[in-house]
Chains A and B, each alone.
Chain A
Amino acid sequence: MSMKTSHATFKERIDIQMQDDYMRQSVANAQERMFTNRAKAAEALGNWEQWREMGKEIRQHVLENLDYYLEQLSDKVVENGGNVFFASTAEEARGYIEGVLKEKKAKKIVKSKSMVTEEIDLNKAIIGLGCEVIETDLGEYILQVDDCDPPSHIVVPALHKNRTQIRDIFKEKVGYQGTNDPEEMTRFVRQHIRHDFLEADIGITGCNFAVAETGTVSLVTNEGNARLATSLPKTHIAVMGMERLVPTFEELDIVVSLLCRSAVGLPLTGYVTALTGPRESDQCDGPEEFHLVIVDNGRSAILGSEFKDILRCIRCAACVNTCPAYRHIGGQSYGSIYSGPVGAVLSPLLGGYEDFKELPYACSLCQSCNDVCPVKIPLSDLLLKHRRVMAESKLTPLGERAAAGFFNFVNARPALWGKTVKAGAKVANATIKDGKMPFNVGPLKDWTDSRDLPQPDGESFRSWFKNRQQTKGDQQKNEAGDHHD
């Protein structure tokens, strides 16, 4: 899967998603629970604002000195016996990984959940080499088995499916015979793919945070699949977005604490695994060979732009879990592997405005995302910046610009304005029947589709208001007169 998960338009995607009552209810419930868990965990820890401030400063410092810390990290990985490849583009990253797969004559690859490997469309490249690739995170496994259905949440990718749908998918695709009980299905997957871990030639993971000082890659997980993928296969390839690192273990403490609480409401997830290079020569499990692929793929352009704050992101999805727009339209409507507020900021930057120009409008500017972000990214401000950039570069829909242009022209000319509103009132009176207009005004279409307009009385607001003031003034005079009597 690449960044873009759908060829339908934003409007078509929303229309489909809004019909899915299960998905909408499930997203609403999930948001409620995850939001509450996060809030409780933050409260239990105490001093949450101080923690957030530290998170922000750590990430900021790394971004300001990114070239130094990446140099330190890569030196250390090589010193520990690993390999490092710097990939400017998704193509370069895929090309390098393909090279490793060929060299190792790999047939089977196990993967643990990684957004950046989705972003660079790695699975397609692996399959193109004739290799088998198994997504081993339960949520990702469900989606892969279901003909690569796109994820709807960056932490819980199969959130949009209910247990019965999952049972049916397993039954059809992998011969599952059991009930729709989540525990039974989970145990089935455990048994079903255990042999894949043992047979795999290569394990591929993402990287939550690298530690520059020691050349370490850390993974924050729950299921144990990332541990298996980095303990059994002879080769481990870790793929990281170039901004995902901290200077030392001291800072790792802070960002991991923020991530676990913000993502799942726990002090720590089931497994936090810190991997440093290949295994030592005297040990017998763990990979013999370690490759770290550091991916730019548009990030350096963001670093040099007014959107650089988004690179602080630690992918916790707290913003997703509080967003009213996400709640209503669901993750797949975004048409990107990154959904919610972070997705609406990041997708146009990494994937271009052409494909993702609507996303910055999937936002009511309630700013709730700003308040929950553990590294204080001003998400809603960045969404507004997107809108401004698009308006300035004439990327907003033509109808909207034409309407706004007409408005600006008339609004700048008071005499014309007066005539126009009076004419408008008369036209409205003549055309609006039973709350509907006989034609659609482009930019207002979605609004008028779902709302009935009041029956106009042929008078413009201004003239109505003027008359009302007049009448009210007369009334007040009369009332005042009454009191004096």
Chain B
Amino acid sequence: MTNPARLQNRTAFLENIAKVLDRPRRTQAPVRPALKYRCHQEVMAGWSPDQLRDRLVDYTENALGAKAIVTTKAQLSRVLSEACLAYQQNTLSDDGKDVVLSADVRLQAGIDINQLTQAGLSLYVWDSSLGYDANIRACERAKVGVVFAEQALAESGTMVLYSQVEQGRVISLLPEASVFIVPKSAIVPRLTQATAVLTEKAKAGKRMPSCINFISGPSSTADIELIKVVGVHGPIFATYIILDDQ
């Protein structure tokens, strides 16, 4: 049973809502009406993986001001090194030289750490067991954070990240540049397919990951004269690496 100290003032609050709705308090799940239309399911329905990939690349490059690179598993280490090195040279300040890599097994299995080191990159691999301070410090000083995405959304150029032990929230947040790696098979039309996965998880009684992020390009603002400025509190640069392995 729930701890009353962690749940305060609920009964009176909900009774009052029932009262203004002029009916007894509703404690049984109401019938949730099915969505009236299917237009959200019809966006890019029936598109091939290549079509979705092309749309993702097009939107990312033209609307988000981010880079999209299509490559193969065999070329991943080289492409990733080049992407990280480009940011080493282009970023704004000169303190911090590391690249923080997610410890996600899908990422670690796909890259050759030696090849990255030989390319001249100093690496830090996320390690939850070292605790908050060590990991935050590494990310704060790093130029680039590299993460593995669960899904990509073609419509909006979006990378879907779940927080997990191997891949903390701040890898894609504190460094000036983010690099996302996503397999072509994980590209879906839009948010509809991403939320469907989460609804399935919920139905199966699983807890949601504590932080799910839908990230579309670098951070941005239009708060001064509605002029778009890329790079505010989150990353200033972003590259998507799409693994074309189908």
State how many angstroms separate the Cβ of B217 from the closest Cβ of chain A: 6
Select one of B153, B169, B227 contacting A231, CB under 8 A.
Answer: B169
Q: Mark A70-95, 1 if CB is under 8 A from B, else 0.
A: 11101100111011111110001000
Q: A45 interface residue, CB < 8 Å from B?
A: yes
Q: Is A286 an interface residue (CB 8 A)?
A: yes
Cβ–Cβ < 8 Å partners of A75 in chain B: 2
| Stretch from A131-139, A400-408, A466-474 forming part of the interface with B | A131-139
Q: Which residues of A contact B46 (CB under 8 A)?
A: none
Q: How far is it, in angstroms, between the C-alpha of A50 and the C-alpha of B43 when the chains are bound?
A: 13
Given contacts A84-B6, A284-B168, contact A68 B27 (CB under 8 A): yes
B71 at the interface (CB under 8 A from A): no
Is A303 interfacial (CB 8 A cutoff)? yes
A175 at the interface (CB under 8 A from B): no
- Digitize B184-227: 1 where CB-to-A-CB distance is under 8 Å, 0 elsewhere: 00000011101110110010000111111111111111111111
Chain A residues with CB under 8 Å of B43's CB are: 45-46
Q: A53-B37, A85-B8, A300-B16 are in contact. Are A285 and B215 (CB under 8 A)?
A: no
- Give A213 to B36 CA distance when docked, in angstroms: 20
| B-chain residues with CB within 8 Å of residue A30 when the two chains form the complex | 226
- Could you tell me if B190 and A301 are in contact, using CB atoms closer than 8 angstroms? no
CA distance A57 to B35 in the complex (A): 8
Query: Is A54 a contact of B36 with CB atoms below 8 Å?
Result: yes
Question: CB-CB contacts of A431-466 with B at 8 A, as 1s and 0s?
Answer: 000000000000000000000000000000000000
Q: A74-B7, A86-B10, A138-B224 are in contact. Are A272 and B232 (CB under 8 A)?
A: no
With beta carbons under 8 angstroms apart, the residue of B40, B42, B168, B221 that contacts A138 is B221
CA–CA, A254 to B191, complex, Å?
A: 9
Count contacts on B: residues with CB < 8 A to the other chain. 88
Q: How far is the CA of A99 from the CA of B92 in the complex (A)?
A: 41
Tell me how far the C-beta of B44 lies from the nearest C-beta in chain A, rounded to whole angstroms: 11
Contact A257 B40 (CB under 8 A): yes
Docked-complex contact A268 and B216, CB < 8 angstroms = yes
Is B74 interfacial (CB-CB < 8 Å)? Answer: no
Asked whether B73 is an interface residue with its Cβ less than 8 Å from the other chain, the reply is: no
> Known contacts A45-B43, A183-B231, A273-B211; can you find 18 more A-B pairs with CB under 8 A?
A54-B36, A57-B33, A72-B29, A78-B2, A138-B224, A139-B221, A224-B233, A227-B173, A249-B196, A268-B153, A269-B216, A270-B217, A270-B218, A271-B216, A272-B191, A273-B213, A274-B208, A300-B17
Q: Which residues of B contact A (CB under 8 A)?
A: 2-3, 6-10, 12-22, 25-30, 32-33, 35-37, 39-40, 42-43, 92, 128, 130-132, 135-136, 140, 153, 155-156, 158, 163-165, 168-170, 173, 190-192, 194-196, 198-199, 202, 207-227, 229, 231-235
Q: List 18 A-B contacts (CB under 8 A).
A: A45-B43, A68-B29, A71-B10, A86-B8, A88-B16, A214-B207, A222-B222, A223-B219, A227-B173, A228-B234, A252-B195, A253-B194, A273-B212, A273-B214, A274-B212, A282-B165, A286-B210, A296-B13
